[in-house]
Structure 1
Amino acid sequence: MTGFICLDEMKIKENLVLREGKLVGLVDPMSVTEENKRNELASNILVFYGRTVTRKVSVPIAWYATRSMTAGRLASLVWKNIIACEKAGLQVHALICDGHPTNRKMFRIISQGHKITMRSNLMAHNPLAVHRPIALLSDPPHLLKTARNSLYNSRKNGSKEMIDVQGRPIVWTDISDLYKRESHSMLSESLLKKVHVELTPYSKMNVGLARAVLNERVGKVLSKVPRAEGTADYILNFAKYVL
């Protein structure tokens, strides 16, 4: 079977319960290295998910209750699950996760220190099939949210203000100003709504809302707005990859 492994970490409610005579809610011993942290309450669940390219097989492989995960410990768990899948008959061609700093450090570890660049593929050697390396990929929906969130955090004269190679500002103010102008009009060319512009911690995780901002329609409307060309080009560059 030809397939890949996805991994992701999700937030859970911290609690300690007694289930079938066992305490449930503490961190998994395999997720920590320090002995004194093994009695801490878990705040996240790390899930490994295996899938074949035809999606005939799509199942969770393993999950670990965690609180804080180092890149080194994560790399160990990655190899543990890759080897288990290979031995079970799943040929792992790729490992996919989001762009969290810990995940990127883990990529560097299992790729033997290779730098992550825009011009080269990042691969890890497969210990059970040296002729078949494992591609290390960032999940496109997470990258889309990261791009939108970076734009959201970019404000004029702020510490996180972005500019393009031509020195033009790329700022969220252009998006919010466009929404305000169109909200007073009968016709909205960009189709932006309040939920797209006024983000909350939960809406920042919504891929659909990010897609609605980083699309061709919004970029073309902004390209007609004076001094918003930098933001317009930023959006149009991402719109090439948004369906």
Structure 2
Amino acid sequence: MLRVKSGLGTRFFSTFKKKIATKSCSERQGIMVFDEIPVRKEMGVSAKTMTYAGLVDFGETANSLDELSDHGLVFTFRAFGDCYSLPVAAFASKGPTKGTVLTQLVVKSIVLLENAGVFVGEILCDGAATNRAMWKQFCLRRELTCTRNSFVHPLDDKFSVHVLPDEPLLVKRVRNGLLKQKVLRFNVGWIMWAHYEKVYAEDTKLPGYIRGCAKLTFSHMNLSNTEKLRVKLATQVFSRSVAKGLEYYSSGGVSGLQDARCT
């Protein structure tokens, strides 16, 4: 087992380079994934190294702070042509990592991974505020009329690195947008949140064992701020069974569902 410290340690990447040298070109291509989560504040002492654990730590090259960390940021490399997924760096911060710092860490991680022998063509992250700030640093744009989801590769301007949001984030954003706006414009019509509410109201009139949309519950229709973060409550609204329920009740002449075809 290789013991590594917080940050982008050269010891790890030198060992990783030896391992990657045995892989084929297709096995060296992959995606870099990173995520940040809140952690409990707690200080500990390592008896082996006689150092404190639990403090803010961005590695040896950064200025260490004598403050307790409450967030952990982890970078992982996932190969496309092989079955391994490898954490490559970890950082401890007080509060979410700032967008400018995160941008620097992303670029440096890509450079070190490339120097180790792999090719990073994509990065994957969620839609946290710090990640959106990083997108701005890379001049990414999400407008419908002008979309830019990549930036120039830091080591080769002939290639681009594409920034991908995770799929659960996209599903939740669509559901939350529909819940807030109540209607969304589509190419052939309108998608309405009221249609889902009507299907739920009609379906709950039936006994549970013959309900067509049995997965729909009160929580799906009346979301708290915490429940808006749950992926399952979003995917189940857009599930095949609910789509079939919309089709069934609209074809049955239920009031309020005559224009539910687009939904």
Query: 1:131, 1:169 → 2: CA distance?
Result: 41
In structure 2, what residue type is equivalent to 1:25?
G
Which of 22, 38, 41 pairs up with 2:51? 22
The TM-score normalised by the length of structure 2 is: 0.70
Query: For each residue in 1:174-221, what CA deviation from the matched residue of structure 2 results, as whole angstroms up to 9, or x when unmatched?
Result: 545543442331222223243645656665444333211112432343
Whether the 8 Å contact between 1:124 and 1:133 is mirrored in structure 2 is yes
State the partner residue of 2:143: 117
1:109, CA displacement in angstroms? 1.3
Whether the 8 Å contact between 1:99 and 1:138 is mirrored in structure 2 is yes
Structure 2 runs not aligned, ≥5 long: 1-27
In structure 2, what residue type is equivalent to 1:26?
L
Query: 2:92, 2:261 → 1: CA distance?
Result: 42
Does residue 76 (structure 1) correspond to residue 107 (structure 2)? The answer is no
Query: 1:58, 1:52 → 2: CA distance?
Result: 7
Query: For each residue in 1:22-76, what CA deviation from the matched residue of structure 2 results, as whole angstroms up to 9, or x when unmatched?
Result: 222222246xx9x7x9333222211111011124331111111121322111101
1:156-195 aligned within 5 A: 161-165=181-185, 170-171=192-193, 175-176=196-197, 178-186=199-207, 187-194=210-217
In structure 2, what residue type is equivalent to 1:207?
V
Query: 2:258, 2:87 → 1: CA distance?
Result: 45
State the partner residue of 1:241: none
1:227-238 aligned within 5 A: 227=256, 233=262, 236=263
Identify if the C-alpha distance between structure 1 residues 12 and 201 changes in structure 2 by more than 3 Å, giving closer, same or farther: farther
Does residue 108 (structure 1) correspond to residue 136 (structure 2)? The answer is yes
1:100, CA displacement in angstroms? 2.0
1:141, CA displacement in angstroms? 1.8
1:88, CA displacement in angstroms? 0.7
State the identity %: 25
Range that drifts further, 76-85 or 124-133: 124-133
The count of aligned residue pairs is 220
Identify if the C-alpha distance between structure 1 residues 165 and 51 changes in structure 2 by more than 3 Å, giving closer, same or farther: closer
Structure 1 runs not aligned, ≥5 long: 155-160, 237-243
State the partner residue of 1:212: 236
Whether the 8 Å contact between 1:163 and 1:230 is mirrored in structure 2 is no
Whether the 8 Å contact between 1:219 and 1:232 is mirrored in structure 2 is no
